[in-house]
Each structure stands twice: as C-alpha cells, then as structure tokens.
Structure 1
Amino acid sequence: MVNSMIDKATAIPVIMNKLKKLPIGHAIDLRTYKRNRSVVIARIGKDSFDVVEKGFHDDRFQLPLSKMKKLLKNLMKKEFPRSTKIRCYDLGESEADVHIRRKKI
C-alpha cells in the first residue's frame, strides 16, 4: 500500500493518469489530510470504474474513464472543499466498498 500526497491544484490530471494505469481489480483511496472523508475508486472492467464516496455525502457511481474527470471535479468540490493536499493510497487488489480505517486514534 503506497501513500502519497498530491496538491489539489494538480490532483485531477495526476489521478486520471493513475486510473489509466490501474489494473483491473485494483483500487485507489483518496482522503483529506485529516483522513475523515474519502473517495475510493476501483477498476472493475477494461473501461469501467466503481466509485464510492464517504464523507459529507455517501454515494456510489459506476462509470467509464471518459466521464471520470467531470465526476472527480464534483467530488473534489464536495468532499475536499478546503483541502490543499490530498492523500492518495494505492490499495492494490481491493473492492471499492471495503472500508479501511485510516484515521489515527
């Protein structure tokens, strides 16, 4: 599981690049700096992704890569409104709806 910090200003192109290279069955987890809100994106097919939003809103989407950029813009505004950095975890082979505790106790 690889953790990296991404600037919010450049997050969408970086995430889109990661999604293009993501193998089928693997997922990435995007979190706020405080780790209290998340967006998990799993590749479930050649051109289909499962997105689970947990934070201010709890929602689930299934869409192709071509529609992902617009969804990411909306999710960034809703879930990471004041964040300047976004944590990005590479979950490896994982489901999108598996909740992983990231917040330190």
Structure 2
Amino acid sequence: MISKSNIIPAVLERLASMPVGHYLDVRTYKRNRYVFFVKKDEDSYLIIENGFFHERFDNVPFKKIKKLFKTLLKKEFPRSTKVRVYNMGEYHEEAAENIERKVL
C-alpha cells in the first residue's frame, strides 16, 4: 500500500519501466474501486476507470497521464489515504476485470 500523497510519482515510475502489454491495477484500500493502466505501446496507454464512474481513455500519451490520474484520484479515491498498487502482468480484458479480490 502506498500513501495517496506519494501515489502519482510511484505509479509514473512503474509505468515507465513496465513492458508493453502489461498493466497496473490501482485500487482503494477497500478494493471496491479500481483504475487499470495498460501499456499498449511505448508511449500509448489505455486507462480503465471502474468505481463511481465507468470510463475508458484510449491512446493516452505518457506525458498526459499525470494530469488525468490526478483527476481520477479525486473522483474515485476522494477520502482514501492509502492506495493499493498491483503489477498484474499480461493484460487480457476478460480475465483482468473478473479477478476476485477480497473486499473489506
């Protein structure tokens, strides 16, 4: 778990070193809302928001992720102080959205 105040640099660092085709799963402490960051190619990402809102942002360049993630944090994790980040490996849409996680 990472403090919400340190989450943006931590996620950006992990995204930069992540191989193409893999994804990050960023969840609230209770694990009931999440944001996926999928690396499509070297400078293009797919961002999937699932929580209060359900949106997909396709072909987002790396330099715009910081601003978008900041707004997503305010929308999806408004009162969270700790955030969970998982390196999930290869992205397969059906399998990724059906992963069972314990909800607190």
Q: CA RMSD in A?
A: 1.5
Q: Which residue of 1 aligns with 2:71?
A: 74
TM-score w.r.t. the length of structure 2 is: 0.91
Instruction: Give the structure with the larger helix fraction.
Output: 2
* Segments of 4+ moved more than 6 angstroms: none
Distance (Å, rounded) in 2 between the aligned partners of 1:15 and 1:31: 12
**Residue 104 of structure 1: CA displacement?**
4.1
Q: TM-score, normalised by structure 1?
A: 0.90
Q: Distance in 2 between matches of 1:84 and 1:57?
A: 20
- Identify the residue that residue 7 of structure 1 maps to in structure 2: 3
Amino acid at match of 2:12: M
Aligned residues: percent identity? 48
Unaligned runs of 5+ residues in structure 1 are none
- Number of paired residues? 101
In structure 2, distance between residues paired with 1:49 and 1:33: 24
For residues 44-97 of structure 1, what are the alpha-carbon distances to aligned partners after superposition, in whole Å with 9 as ceiling and x for unaligned? 011000000000000000201010000000000000000000000110111467
State how 1:4-83 maps to structure 2 within 5 Å.
Answer: 5-62=1-58, 63-83=60-80
Q: Residue 23 and residue 69 in structure 1: after superposition, are their counterparts in 2 closer, same or farther (change >3 A)? A: same
Shift of the 49–95 alpha-carbon distance from structure 1 to 2, 3 Å rule, reads farther
What is the aligned partner in structure 1 of residue 100 from structure 2? 101
Q: Which has the higher contact order (CA 8 A, sep 6+)?
A: 1
> What's the secondary structure of 2:79's corresponding residue?
coil
